[in-house]
Amino acid sequence: MLPASESLGRYGSPAPAATAIQTAATVVLGVRACELRALGYLDKVFLAGAVEDPSYRARRQRTTIVSCDCVAFAETCFCTLVGGRPFATGGHDVNLTPLEDGWIVEVTSEKGHNLLGSVQPAQATGEQLARREDVRRRMTQRVADQNKAFSFSAGDAAAPKLPEGGDDGWQKFAADCVECGGCTNICPTCHCFYLYDQTPGPSTFERVRTWDSCLLNAYHRMAGGVHMKLSPRPLLLSRLANRVLHKYVYSPQQYGLAGCTGCGRCIDACPGAIDIRRVVQELAR
Ligand code: SF4
Ligand code: SF4
């Protein structure tokens, strides 16, 4: 939803003309249920707080979401462990369910109707809808079955009891982390960003926002005194713990939503083979 980096405005003398946030109308196709949940989470972060993010708001309003039920899944998928399901339950404008003889198209918003325009799909039969329910039930069971080895309970309301960030228990996993930031960059709910100023002209400066990663040593380092202050979390185990605690403990407390949707991407991306399911399972007390 957010670009890799963006200008938040130019300032200086003479004052540059104010520009409205320009966003292109966008259709995102094939969004999975775990990503829909992530969008709901980002909406809470960027739109429901005391200060709304106008850039996110502008993009969100111009985006139409076409989701698609999962009919296959990766061995790293675990949405059912964190209260999710492998099919859309909300947050979409149009949802597609593939069946052997076609697609069930479900339109749930004005944006969805506008997208379909004059296209008028035939009414789904009761038998087709029953098959959709059957596909959904079987997919849910298969994802649950592949995660039988994990027994922690997590979700929007249920936070597993994990040790604090300074606890040595985290070191076992931190020892395999090479601080590449891959897990945070690929995660659909991670949203840490970094602000910096640059000078596009002699008397103007520009404020730019770019992605950041809480796993990196320089994260949250602040200017202070003569030298830059060190990271508030100089130990990698604390940073790794913070990421997992933020997903599983702080987010349910702060937003009423889990910060992990079980998409499994951070497991696929990690060169240290760190599996967040195993981290939570082993450290939950
Ligand atoms: S599985 Fe990993 S990448 Fe996916 S939402 Fe959870 S923490 Fe983020
Ligand atoms: S992807 Fe793995 S190695 Fe890279 S920062 Fe994340 S936990 Fe560490």
- What pLDDT digit, counting tens, does each position of 235-280 carry? 899 999 999 999 999 999 999 999 999 999 999 999 999 999 999 9
Residue 43: the pLDDT is 96
Ligand nearest to the Cα of 277, by number: 1
Kindly report the pTM of this predicted structure.
0.90
Residue 273: the pLDDT is 97
Model confidence pLDDT, tens digit, residues 173-193: 999 999 999 999 999 999 999
Q: Which of 71, 78, 82 shows the shortest CA–CA distance to 146?
A: 78
* CB distance 74 to ligand 2 below 6 Å: no
Distance 223 CA to ligand 1 centre (A): 31
* CB distance 189 to ligand 1 below 6 Å: yes
CA 265 to ligand 1: nearest atom: 3
Give domain limits for the chain: 5-11+21-283
Ligand nearest to the Cα of 39, by number: 1
Residue 177: the pLDDT is 97
Instruction: Find the mean pLDDT for residues 130-159.
Output: 90
Report percent pLDDT > 90 for the chain.
Answer: 69
| pLDDT band at residue 203 under the 50/70/90 scheme | confident
Beta carbons within 8 Å of 183's beta carbon, 6+ residues apart: 190, 215, 243, 266, 269, 270, 274, 276
| pLDDT band at residue 140 under the 50/70/90 scheme | very high
Distance 180 CA to ligand 2 centre (A): 5
